[in-house]
């Protein structure tokens, strides 16, 4: 039996990151994948996560892959890919079914039919879009909420409230085409916020209720957990590049100098700390106000005991946790990437999505973790996608 190799490809607007992980043969069940190679390249051909030039993206992916393969000493043939553009969105729907058995006992088939019914009810609301993930949030039997799984219970009507994560069909098709043009078969496409949550959040945080905020260059994603289940996902068209632009305009300096200042680097530019703090606080307050508005929409504002966990390349900005606490009225901290292996080649949380993809690939559908919950309900993405591919 050979070691199980898993590859995750995170295609961001500014950078492509590739992580190759290994689960050793004979390893204990649910063993943490060991990162054996990483690759990093500048992204080309993208805007806010959308692919504008497939050939340019393919070259960036190939460059990052080559680095990772050389480091790991393997050749990558298959990979899991993250999707994180502003086209990602959520929809909620309720489906219902009458149990088929004569004794009214609910079966796996009834649960599947209820979920299918909830998806059919949103079909006319998502033209040109496809469902990436369908996640059951609540089951009720004859109007009473089920605490656990409904299979085996008896009743005259089963209902399910489902969260659907959707995206544009065309974008997924372009994403897959770009990766396969680099010579790699795409095994699966996963929403980036979910992939990051697999490694950035502890079980206790997801159980109590928390929000993971991933600040990228041009977009910021958020995913809310409650009772160990993702209950909301949103992408905002704002990221750390906007803060760089604000600093450049506010201090009237070149973008290169503004980027250094944002990252805490040395510069010859003269400025007062208060002026810089005002610029940073203004942009961050705008971002967290958008996030708080969404929390109000789903009635979770100020109600997540484990608070806000900040990650991504933009999470290292000074004072970011202070602004998050003030605007969101929640505990807030910057996440740390704990991979469980001191020899890992991944160094910071900007790699969370790539490593999360490896965790996804190594996980089993029967797991009780968030990965297992989503995997159990993963749709057959390729059934509709293949018609768009050459």
Could you read off the pLDDT of 234-287 as tens digits, one per residue?
999 999 999 999 999 999 999 999 998 988 887 888 889 899 999 999 999 999
Half-sphere exposure of 275 (CA within 13 A, CB side): 12
Residue 226 CA to residue 342 CA, distance in Å, equals 31
Fold of 203-334: Nucleotidyltransferase; domain 5 (3.30.420)
Task: Compute CA distances 72 → 76, 79, 251, 384, whole Å.
Answer: 10, 15, 44, 34
Nearest CA among 215, 193, 352, 190 for reference residue 290: 215
Q: Which residue has the tokens 């409650």?
A: 226
Domains 4-86+169-192+351-388 and 203-334 share a fold: yes
Q: Are 324 and 212 in contact (CB under 8 A)?
A: no
Q: Alpha helix locations (H) across the chain?
A: 54-72, 108-120, 169-181, 192-200, 203-208, 240-251, 255-262, 273-297, 320-328, 352-362, 370-376, 381-385
User: Which SS3 state, helix, strand or coil, does residue 161 take?
Assistant: strand
Rounded-to-10 torsion of CA 313, 319, 322, 327: -70
Q: Are 139 and 352 in contact (CB under 8 A)?
A: no
Per-residue pLDDT tens over the stretch 230-246: 999 999 999 999 999 99
Per-residue pLDDT tens over the stretch 277-317: 999 999 999 999 999 999 999 999 999 999 999 998 888 88
DSSP letter assigned to residue 32: P
How many CB atoms sit inside 10 A of residue 219's CB?
A: 24
For 131-157, letters b (16+ CB in 10 Å) and e give bbbbbbbebbbeeeebeeebeebebee
In the chain, % of residues over pLDDT 70: 88
Residue 93 CA to residue 122 CA, distance in Å, equals 7
In the chain, % of residues over pLDDT 90: 67
Helices (H) and strands (E) counted in the chain, each on its own, are 12, 16
Residue 87: CB partners within 8 Å, gap ≥ 6? Answer: 49, 50, 167, 168, 171, 235
Q: Which residue has the tokens 């500048």?
A: 42
pLDDT at residue 17 tops 50:
yes
- The dihedrals phi and psi of 15, each to the nearest 5 degrees, come to -140, 150
The length of the chain is 390
Domain ranges of the chain: 4-86+169-192+351-388, 89-166, 203-334
Give me the pLDDT at residue 389, please.
37
Question: In the numeric block, which tokens belong to residue 149?
Answer: 């799984």
The pTM of this model reads 0.87
Check whether domain 89-166 has CATH 3.30.1490.110, yes or no = yes
Which CATH code fits 4-86+169-192+351-388? 3.30.420.40
**Residue 159 — very low, low, confident or very high, per pLDDT cuts 50/70/90?**
very high
Per-residue pLDDT tens over the stretch 337-375: 665 554 455 557 788 899 999 988 887 644 545 555 555
DSSP letter assigned to residue 351: G
């Amino acid at each position: 039996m050979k070691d199980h190799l898993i590859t995750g490809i995170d295609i961001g607007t500014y950078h492509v990151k590739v992580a190759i992980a290994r689960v050793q043969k004979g390893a204990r069940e649910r063993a943490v994948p060991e990162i054996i190679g990483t690759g990093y390249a500048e992204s080309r051909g993208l805007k806010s996560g959308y692919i504008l030039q497939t050939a340019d993206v393919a070259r960036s992916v190939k460059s990052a892959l080559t680095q990772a393969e050389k480091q790991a000493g393997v050749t990558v043939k298959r990979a899991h890919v993250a999707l994180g553009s502003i086209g990602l969105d959520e929809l909620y729907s309720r489906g219902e079914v009458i149990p088929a058995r004569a004794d009214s006992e609910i079966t796996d088939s009834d649960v599947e039919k209820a979920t299918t019914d909830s998806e059919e009810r949103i079909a006319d609301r998502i033209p040109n879009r496809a469902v990436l993930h369908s996640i059951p949030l609540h089951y009720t039997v004859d109007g009473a909420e089920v605490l656990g799984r409904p299979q085996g219970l008896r009743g005259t009507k089963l209902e399910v409230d489902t969260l659907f994560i959707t995206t544009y069909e065309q974008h997924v098709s372009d994403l897959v085409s770009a990766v396969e043009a680099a010579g790699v078969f795409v095994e699966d496409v996963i929403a980036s916020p979910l992939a990051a949550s697999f490694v950035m959040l502890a079980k206790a945080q997801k159980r109590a209720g928390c929000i993971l905020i991933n600040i990228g260059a041009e977009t910021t994603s958020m995913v809310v957990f409650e009772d160990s289940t993702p209950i909301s996902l949103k992408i905002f068209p704002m990221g750390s590049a906007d803060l760089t632009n604000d600093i450049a305009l506010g201090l009237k300096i070149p973008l290169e100098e503004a980027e250094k200042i944002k990252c805490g680097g040395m510069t010859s530019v003269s400025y007062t700390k208060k002026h810089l703090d005002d610029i940073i606080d203004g942009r961050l307050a705008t971002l967290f106000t958008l996030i708080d508005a969404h929390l109000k929409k789903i009635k979770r504002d100020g109600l997540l005991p484990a608070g806000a966990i900040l990650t991504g390349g933009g999470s290292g900005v000074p004072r970011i946790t202070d602004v998050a606490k003030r605007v969101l009225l929640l505990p807030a901290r910057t996440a740390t990437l704990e991979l469980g292996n001191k020899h890992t080649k991944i160094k910071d949380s900007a790699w969370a999505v790539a490593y999360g993809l490896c965790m996804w690939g190594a996980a089993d559908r029967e797991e009780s973790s968030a990965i297992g919950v989503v995997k159990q309900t993963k749709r057959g993405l390729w059934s509709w996608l293949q018609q768009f591919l050459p």
